[in-house]
Amino acid sequence: MDLITDSIVVGLTEHAPLILAAMGFALIYRLTGLINVAYSETITLGAYLGMWINTTFDLDFYTILIPTGILAGVLSVATYFAVFRPAKRRNVGGLEMIIISFGLSIFLRHGLQFVFGYPVRFFNVPPPDTIFVLGVGVSSFRLLAVASVFILALGLFWFIQKTSYGLQTRALASDEDLAQVSGIRPLAVTVLIWFLAGVAGGLAGAFYGVGSAAAPLLGWRQFLFILLVVLVGGAKNIGGVIIAGAVTAITLAAMTLQFGQVLYAQLVLIVVFVIILKVRHTRAVAAGGV
């Protein structure tokens, strides 16, 4: 029983940034169908920006989250205008688009080292308060990450299901040409989605960064799991992504607590998720869906 409780509390609080980042990634994936490898650098950037604002302006961790999220969102939009929009206008193919995003990821990852320096950088924050949840001690930063997931999830649900921009987003994701004929302004919706995705990625990065350090590979180390969570959860449905993310988080924590080795837990999850993708695809083919 202890293992289950511990796994749920530790998993959800420790891996809340993963769910947050997966939600942001899913937004772009749903809208454009693009596997944006450079999204991992939005996460890294969030960690670096948070650290920079924290150490330069001597602001506490809670205060830096707002400017960090906004700046990460703006930079996410900037990558759209600088790279992905021109590439789309040139009719670059789907596979080539992924390779372009891979190139952008590498460029940004190493460019950040020129801006912020080569050594890993640390936040300057006092030790967080410890709050006991179901008998398990959790830092206030981690609880804030969980709260951010809830707020963003509710906000996204409301945005996509209840607002006219959400309706436009769904229409654009289904059929861009038809959406344009219907009078939808694709640019405004697209910019909004890239911004929101950037905010989610940036906040995830800040939460990761304050728990460890701002380092060049921070986002890339999470990318495979973000991708797995989104593909297994189903990008059409943010709820599915949250559930897949939560299951991933709890399973990682349970296996780590049981075997004392997080890497084995990751290995098992990678294998299981790839098998799920394969089985799901095989069933879809058998059912005539592909």
Question: DSSP 3-state assignment of 55?
Answer: helix
Q: Is 231 in the site for other proteins (CB under 8 A)?
A: yes
In whole angstroms, give the CA distance from residue 235 to residue 35.
11
**Window of 65-73, 133-141, 246-254, 276-284 that interacts with other proteins by CB under 8 A:** 276-284
Q: Is 224 in the site for other proteins (CB under 8 A)?
A: yes
**Window of 7-15, 91-99, 146-154, 158-166 that interacts with other proteins by CB under 8 A:** 91-99
In whole angstroms, give the CA distance from residue 84 to residue 62.
32
Q: Residue 62 or residue 259: which is nearer to other proteins going by CB?
A: 259
Closest CA to 194 of 50, 16, 34, 1: 34
**Window of 101-109, 158-166, 169-177, 245-253 that interacts with other proteins by CB under 8 A:** 101-109
Residues 6+ apart with CB under 8 A from 205: 17, 21, 42, 43, 44, 45, 46, 47, 48, 49, 50, 68, 72, 218, 219
Residues 6+ apart with CB under 8 A from 6: 136, 253, 257
Q: Is 108 in the site for other proteins (CB under 8 A)?
A: yes
φ/ψ (deg, to 5) at 214 = -85, 115
Q: Is 106 in the site for other proteins (CB under 8 A)?
A: yes
In whole angstroms, give the CA distance from residue 115 to residue 71.
15
Q: Is 115 in the site for other proteins (CB under 8 A)?
A: no
4, 131, 154, 271: which one binds other proteins (CB under 8 A): 271
**Window of 53-61, 110-118, 142-150, 194-202 that interacts with other proteins by CB under 8 A:** 110-118
Q: Is 103 in the site for other proteins (CB under 8 A)?
A: yes
CB of 68 to other proteins, least distance (A): 24
Q: Is 181 in the site for other proteins (CB under 8 A)?
A: no
- Residue 37 is given by DSSP the state T
Q: What count of residues does the chain have?
A: 290
In whole angstroms, give the CA distance from residue 125 to residue 128.
8
Q: Residue 103 or residue 155: which is nearer to other proteins going by CB?
A: 103
Q: Is 83 in the site for other proteins (CB under 8 A)?
A: yes
Q: Is 264 in the site for other proteins (CB under 8 A)?
A: yes
In whole angstroms, give the CA distance from residue 80 to residue 208.
24
CB of 67 to other proteins, least distance (A): 26
Q: Is 81 in the site for other proteins (CB under 8 A)?
A: no
16, 45, 64, 104: which one binds other proteins (CB under 8 A): 104
Q: What Cα–Cα distance (Å) separates residue 148 from each residue in 127, 137, 144, 166, 275?
A: 20, 19, 6, 20, 31
Q: Is 35 in the site for other proteins (CB under 8 A)?
A: yes
Residue 236 burial (CB count, 10 A): 14
Q: Which parts of this chain interact with other proteins (CB under 8 A)?
A: 35, 83, 86-87, 90, 92-96, 98-100, 102-111, 113-114, 118, 220, 224, 227-228, 231, 261, 263-264, 266-267, 270-271, 273-274, 277-278, 281-282, 285
